[in-house]
Every structure is written in structure tokens, then in C-alpha cells.
Amino acid sequence: MSDPLQAPGRTKIAFLGTGLMGAPMARRLLGAGYAVSVWNRDPNKALPLQGDGAAIAASPREVIADAEIVFTMLTNGEAVGEVLFDSGCAEALKQGTVVVDTSSIAPNLARQHAARLRQKGITHLDAPVSGGVVGAESGTLAIMAGGEPDVVERLADVFAALGRVTHVGPSGAGQVCKLANQQIVAITIGAIAEAMVLVEAGGASREAFRTAIRGGFAESRILDLHGSRMIRRDFEPGGSSRNQLKDLDAVAALAEALSLNLPLTESVREAFNTFVVEGGGDKDHSALLLHLEKLNARSQ
């Protein structure tokens, strides 16, 4: 007999959090044929999914009723805890339900959530994603799953609608890998932004510079997407600078707990902190370029 969690149409999925990332992810699941109910704290962000076939719920408890898989894509660990536990969702979930938290939260919180749910007979995966809004819309997200490997395997077809899943270890490991991913993203954004400042100050074209190095050792997804944003000066958020800072703060906390010295991460964290404090929190994280431009304008 086939696993019902692999069968579109028969599997009931609840999706909590339909913001920039959650809405296109829920839409991908609907497009794959799954029955999806959605909830968002701001209902206006959930309503557009009704046209794609989603059922709109008025509360977290309502959306998870009879769900076999529950996805969460929320702002931070506090929001995940409030929705799962303070709202009564955990008590309302039926035994055997799989909770897949795709939010980016601290690894210790992910492990705590898994332990609390396990006591109620509910399985938990921490499965944060990378790829941004573009990846969510195109179904090409990189999904880092922490938890039991057999559960990840059971949900392989569900994850396939969203992108490429990799089991990276026990509970919390997904979040550790996401933090490491965010280190690379932030440092690379910083490196590209600094290069853009240097190129323009030296009299070259930023656009021509980016074109010239494409395909070389400096090639990356970040150079492709965020390098283009920097040239066009399009800083509408795909991933906000505030959320980037949140992740870097979590990296710093984990590094301290592990007695690690991560100087590159700390340097870019300080830059993002200054940028957010000075009002850039709601801009895309590629807008770190603006902070570096301002910094260099002061020094001239």
C-alpha cells in the first residue's frame, strides 16, 4: 500500500504563514494537486490563494483541523512558538501529524519544539529553505531538513513540489545549516557590495564589471540576482535586511555557545546592524550597498 502522505489530492496540508515566502510555497503545493488550507495573521495575505484553490482559515486551530502535514513559514522562533503552542495548535493536532517548520529560527528552539511535539505523538522536522522568493515561486528551493530521515523520505514527493530536500541530521541540524547558509549569503552580499563601490570609485562601470566576471571564479547566484539588484538599485525586499540581521544574530549566539571565532561573519553582522538601526531594515539585504556607499561618502 502506498504512503498516503505521498498522494496529492488525498493528503491534507495546512500552511501557516503566507507572506513573501509562504504564499508562493503554498501555491506550489496547490499546483502539485495537494489539498491545502492556509492561515496568516494578516488575512489579506492569505486571500489571494483562494483563487488557486486554497481553503482560507480564520485561526491556526481551524487551519490544522484534520491536517496530515502542517507547514509553518513564520517570522522567527517566537512567532512559531506562539502559533504552535500558545494558540493551542499542538493540543488540536492529531497523533501522527507531521509538522514541517520551514521558518528560520534558532537551532535550540527547533529542538525544543520537536521535543514538545514528540510528547504528543506528533513528528517534527525543522526544514528551513534557501532560494528566496524566486526559488519559492519556481519550486527550486534548497531545503535543509533536520529530524528523522525516514520522515524526510516519506515526504519526498511533497518536498519535490517546493525544491530539493536534503536530510542534514537530527532535530536542529536543519537550522544550523540554514545559519551557515546565511553566513555565506551575508558575507557574499557584503563582498559584492564592496566590489561595486570599489569599481565605481575606480572609474569602471558596475554593470560591465558584473558582466565581465560572470562565469569566472566569482560567479554565484548572489552575483546573478543581487548584483543585478545593486546595479538597478531595486531594493524592494525579497529577503529583508532585518531578517538577515536576525539570522546573523543567531549565528553569533551559536558561535558563542560553541566557542567559535568567526571574524568575517561578525564584521558583516556589524554592517547589517548599523544599516538596520539607520532605517534600512525593510529594504532587501542587497541594499547593504547603500550602507557602504554612505560609509564611503563620509570618508571622502
- Of 12, 178, 246, 283, the active-site residue reads 178
Tell me the CATH number for domain 177-299.
Answer: 1.10.1040.10
The per-residue pLDDT of the chain, averaged, comes to 94
With 0.85 as the threshold, say if the pTM is over it: yes
Reported as a single tens digit per residue, the pLDDT across 240-278 is 999 899 989 999 999 999 999 999 999 999 999 999 999
Give the whole-angstrom CA distance, residue 19 versus residue 51. 16
Mean pLDDT of 14-19: 97
Task: Say how many CA atoms lie within 13 Å of 84 toward its Cβ.
Answer: 29
pLDDT at 265: 98
Q: Let me know if the fold of 4-169 is the same as that of 177-299.
A: no
Superfamily of domain 4-169: NAD(P)-binding Rossmann-like Domain (3.40.50.720)
Is 178 catalytic? The answer is yes
Give the whole-angstrom CA distance, residue 227 versus residue 236. 14
Q: Which cell goes with 12?
A: 491534507
Give CA angle at 233 (284, 267), nearest 5°. Answer: 50
Give the whole-angstrom CA distance, residue 254 versus residue 161. 31
Segments making up each domain of the chain, as ranges: 4-169, 177-299
User: pLDDT exceeding 90 applies to what percent of the chain?
Assistant: 89
pLDDT at 2: 47
pLDDT at 112: 97
Confidence of residue 22 (pLDDT cuts 50, 70, 90): very high
